[in-house]
Structure 1
Amino acid sequence: MIRGLVLLTGGNIEDYLPDLYDWSLSETETEQHTCRPINKLPPYNNYKENVLKRLANGLLIYILVDRANNNKRIGKIQLFDYNTRNKSAEVGYYLPLKHRKQGYANVLLELFIGIIFERKDLELNKIYATVAACNQASIKLLEKFHFKLEGTYREHYWFSDGSICDQYHYSLLKREYIGLLEEKAIE
Structure 2
Amino acid sequence: MIRGLVPLNSGNIEDYLPDLYDWSLTESEKEQHTCRPIIELPPYNNYKENVLKRLANGQLIYILVDKSNSNKRIGKIQLFDYNSRNKSAEIGYYLPLKHRKQGYANVLLELFIDTIFERKDLELNKIYATVAACNQASIKLLEKFHFKLEGAYREHYWFSDGSICDQYHYSLLKREYASLAEKEIEGN
Which TM bucket (shorter chain)? over 0.9
How large is the RMSD of aligned CA atoms in angstroms?
A: 0.3
Alignment of 1:37-116 (within 5 A): 37-116=37-116
| Aligned partner letter, 1:112 | F
Partner-residue secondary structure (3-state), 1:46 = helix
Partner of 2:23 in structure 1? 23
Once the 2 structures are TM-superposed, how far is the Cα of residue 122 of structure 1 from its aligned partner? 0.2
Identity of aligned pairs, percent?
A: 87
TM-score normalised by length of structure 1? 1.00
| Aligned partner letter, 2:14 | E
Partner of 2:135 in structure 1? 135
Partner of 2:4 in structure 1? 4
CA distance in 2, matches of 1:172, 1:141: 13
Partner of 1:167 in structure 2? 167
CA distance in 1, matches of 2:162, 2:58: 35
Partner of 1:33 in structure 2? 33
Runs of 4+ in 1 over 3 A off after TM superposition: none
Which ranges in structure 2 are unaligned for 5 or more consecutive residues?
none
Which ranges in structure 1 are unaligned for 5 or more consecutive residues?
none
Once the 2 structures are TM-superposed, how far is the Cα of residue 155 of structure 1 from its aligned partner? 0.2
Once the 2 structures are TM-superposed, how far is the Cα of residue 185 of structure 1 from its aligned partner? 1.0
CA distance in 1, matches of 2:156, 2:83: 23
| Aligned partner letter, 1:152 | A
Aligned length: 187
Partner-residue secondary structure (3-state), 2:68 = helix
Partner-residue secondary structure (3-state), 1:68 = coil
TM-score normalised by length of structure 2? 0.99
Partner of 2:120 in structure 1? 120
